């Protein structure tokens, strides 16, 4: 891409998570260990749901998609971050940066919408059990899954389209360990006030509305089961607690990053690390540890004799 004075920006220099080599080494070891332990667990969840004929309810299909989205999301940032920890010069091409932004928001937006779909599924199962099988039939589930993938794509392509129209003539130093909208926009050689507002509207407003809607939906569920049996209350409370934990892990950092003007704060990089690497890998594991059916299915799969 060329600016008016003919300068071409072909790459961005990533300043990284920290300039301290000791801290970089510590984070590298911790993230690598975490990555190697938790990531196979996500794939085990996907395999279990695919192979177990007893896990055919819509909830498990959505859980399998959550594990796939989170595992894919972690591949966008973590591997390159680990490699960059060992490199003196951390460089990413302009096209590579745009590609990273696209998939970051494509999968992130899809996951936010998936959590909305899962909340609707739990509402129907707990508050409208007689209508559940009619409303959440296989065709409806496929339509919802298609809609969330399409929604994530539209959300992301808007971000990328806006950035592609910005002129970049230098500097090219990104104060982060990966490419994301707030840092890239700051490097544009033009007034970005309107662009920042558009980005906050596209990312921040979407995130905030989903977050508030999800909290409201689980509040309704808890109110509706107040008069149910103790077993029903316990199951609903367990479901809501798990979902609310994931909501705060997913939306808390996203709201911090995207619902304010693009100004740098000291905590930005730490929040981004948890948002892009740690929490995505933890989400499916948290769901699984609190779901007796999936845990039992995983144990059966692991205990199967090898032919």
- Among 141, 152, 149, CA closest to 59: 141
pLDDT-based confidence at residue 5 (cuts at 50, 70, 90): very low
In our burial notation (b when 16+ CB lie closer than 10 A, e otherwise), range 163-187 reads beeeebbeebebebbbbbbbbbbeb
pLDDT band at 6 (very low <50, low <70, confident <90, very high): very low
The helix (H) or strand (E) run that includes residue 68 is helix 58-85
The pLDDT of residue 4: 43
257 or 261, higher pLDDT: 257
Q: How far apart are CA 218 and CA 157, in angstroms?
A: 31
Tell me how far apart the alpha carbons of residues 226 and 229 are, in angstroms, rounded to a whole number: 9
Q: How far apart are CA 183 and CA 164, in angstroms?
A: 14
Task: With a cut of 70, say whether residue 307 has pLDDT above it.
Answer: no
What was the pLDDT predicted at 280? 81
Residue 301 or 204, more confident: 204
DSSP letter, residue 4: T
Is residue 262 very low, low, confident or very high in pLDDT (cuts 50, 70, 90)?
low
Residues 6+ apart with CB under 8 A from 133: none
Q: pTM for this one?
A: 0.88
- Nearest CA to 188 out of 162, 170, 174, 205 is that of 170
Residue 61 pLDDT > 70, yes or no?
Answer: yes
Residue 265 CA to residue 254 CA, distance in Å, equals: 14
Q: What's the chain's average pLDDT?
A: 85
> Which percentage of the chain shows pLDDT scores above 70?
93
Residues 6+ apart with CB under 8 A from 198: 162
Q: How confident is the model at residue 116 (pLDDT cuts 50, 70, 90)?
A: very high
Partnered with residue 93 across adjacent β-strands are 11
Which residues, including other chains, have CB under 8 Å from residue 266's CB and lie 6 or more apart?
Answer: none
How much is the average pLDDT of 235-256? 84
> 275 CB contacts (<8 Å, ≥6 apart)?
253, 254, 257
- What pLDDT digit, counting tens, does each position of 189-232 carry? 888 888 888 888 888 888 999 999 999 988 888 888 776 665 66
pLDDT band at 95 (very low <50, low <70, confident <90, very high): very high
Average pLDDT over residues 66-95: 88
Give 166's strand partners.
none
CA neighbor of 77 nearest in space, from 286, 259, 278, 284: 278
Query: Given the structure tokens 């090219």, which residue do they identify?
Result: 172
Q: For residue range 121-133, list pLDDT tens digits in order.
A: 988 988 888 899 9
């Amino acid at each position: 891409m060329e600016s008016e004075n003919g300068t071409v920006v072909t790459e961005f220099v990533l300043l990284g998570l920290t300039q301290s080599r000791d801290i970089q080494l510590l984070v590298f070891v911790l993230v690598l260990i975490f990555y190697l332990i938790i990531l196979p667990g996500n794939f085990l969840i996907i395999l279990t749901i695919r192979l177990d004929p007893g896990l055919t309810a819509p909830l498990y299909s959505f859980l399998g998609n959550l594990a796939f989205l989170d595992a894919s999301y972690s591949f966008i940032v973590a591997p390159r971050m680990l490699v960059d920890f060992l490199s003196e010069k951390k460089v990413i091409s302009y096209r590579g940066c745009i590609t990273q932004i696209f998939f970051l928001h494509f999968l992130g937006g899809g996951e936010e919408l998936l959590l909305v779909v899962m909340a609707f599924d739990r509402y129907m199962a707990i508050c409208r059990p007689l209508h559940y099988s009619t409303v959440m039939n296989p065709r409806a589930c496929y339509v919802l899954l298609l809609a969330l993938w399409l929604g994530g794509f539209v959300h992301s392509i808007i971000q990328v389209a806006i950035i592609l129209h910005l002129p970049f003539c230098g500097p090219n130093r990104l104060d982060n360990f990966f490419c994301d909208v707030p840092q890239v926009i700051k490097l544009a050689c033009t007034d970005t006030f309107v662009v920042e507002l558009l980005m906050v509207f596209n990312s921040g407003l979407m995130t905030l509305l989903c977050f508030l809607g999800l909290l409201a939906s689980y509040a309704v569920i808890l109110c509706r089961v107040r008069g149910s049996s103790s077993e029903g209350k316990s199951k609903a409370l367990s479901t809501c607690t798990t979902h609310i934990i994931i909501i705060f892990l997913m939306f808390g950092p996203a709201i911090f990053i995207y619902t304010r003007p693009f100004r740098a704060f000291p905590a930005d990089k730490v929040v981004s690390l948890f948002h892009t690497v740690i929490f995505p890998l933890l989400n499916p594991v948290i769901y699984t540890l609190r779901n007796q059916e999936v845990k039992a299915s995983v144990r059966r799969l692991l205990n199967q004799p090898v032919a």
